[in-house]
Structure 1
């Protein structure tokens, strides 16, 4: 039995806690919000994020960071823009041999680092891994069959993550390309926002199929430039995560995009939906495209809509009127 800590009492954090508990591990969930922790302890579930999913009483919830001591695996499941500050906050409480795991998706806007790279920069002597893939918390928590990847440059860390969280309904493959896996997980949110905009504009299935296919092409081109392996983007953390995020109403990115396509301002859409990782990631991805000289037309048009006041309809027209080219010609 391993001692596991989950940082963040959101839907996916609780889902991972339940998965580890089902494998007979000792699990503690830490969150900064006393209101959230108190509500979970009172209700026996997270009524906002995972309504109807009972949380085993053996899983402990607390706001006391000392609970993170003597844990062999610590999983960060907080919004990407808070990863560094949380990692710094809990640093005094983590044991030196703990395996640290990122389960959040995004890029740090100031540095363009992936979330595991942010954690590694704060904890250079720890083994760091990633859990990512097509995994809506609403389904993982209810035991809907789900497959994801555990990625790390250290195989022992990936195997440990796989062993702790795998179950009959949560299948985990290991992967040695954390950079590629996280780039896929971050950038698919951008394409999902664009897919939602197409839905809001009442475009059809043809439009979304084209957007997703060309979207994974963009993601792969930038991801490889950043050190990812090409084959990673055809796997669960690439095309798999893209499909689920573009097509499901569980996706906050898609829901925000629908509102934007219907005429709601990007800022108001984000306020209505909540955490929309694609909104924050789009600026970083646009900057990275310039840095690495990778043409990313979908990302470029979404950037114009989100931050420059461009019309969603005009963005679609701009994409459809681009110069003719071979389907597999590399972006230049």
Structure 2
């Protein structure tokens, strides 16, 4: 039986907090994190369903994030909005409800005028059962998003493109997958005179490791976060690395961001920042919702519907630790 996104939404809403007390305050009323990561908005954003890819409008009053079921067979973008009556409960965005397609990796431009995301709309699953995804965008019109449209062939090729990330000057960074080798390459497209220029591959400091994908650019392009696998100092899974840009030296050698955001035998591959850059949000598959004693059905059911059960969750942390990493940046000598 085919599951519809409306059914997915029903599961999501049912799994969220059932309290009638309104959620108020910035960041869905959460206490701000310090130097240690915290699960973001448990019971509201994180609810046991696999959750990743979070982005905010510049005023912080709207948050968008992705949920997926069945290894992303059903995946869509939800949002919550801060109103005079408190934060609304998660709702699927209007253009992301067709269960034939996936809608993932939302990214709101720093000026709040564009919502980029990835979808396989207008595509078919190829012979290798892969989704051929493209980068789409919706423009802001007053307080709503317009009808999404696919970026042209300067950005979207016959190969899969995914995870758009945008700098304040409009420059677009994204990942493209080679259809033969399945290797992922990070590209940059300069935004000039209102037009995206031909993308160019980023240097080896960014295209590092055995595989890399889903990079996140700082709004001022001063650093980039790179989820990478196969690095010599990996914690064991996909880790977040960071590279800093210097006008004369170029990009620094990728540096493991450390145990604050990376964990052994887990996956980390989706990062973003609060609109003011003070907080880093990141996805991880930590499994901290562990049982003690004998297992029974009730315990298993509760674990399955609890954050940190092994599905992906979104965490946040004070981003000031990046300043310490910058002090350790090293560069390849020319």
- Give the TM-score range, shorter chain: under 0.3
- Structure 2-normalised TM-score? 0.26
Say which structure is richer in helix: 1
Say which structure is richer in strand: 2
- Structure 1-normalised TM-score? 0.26
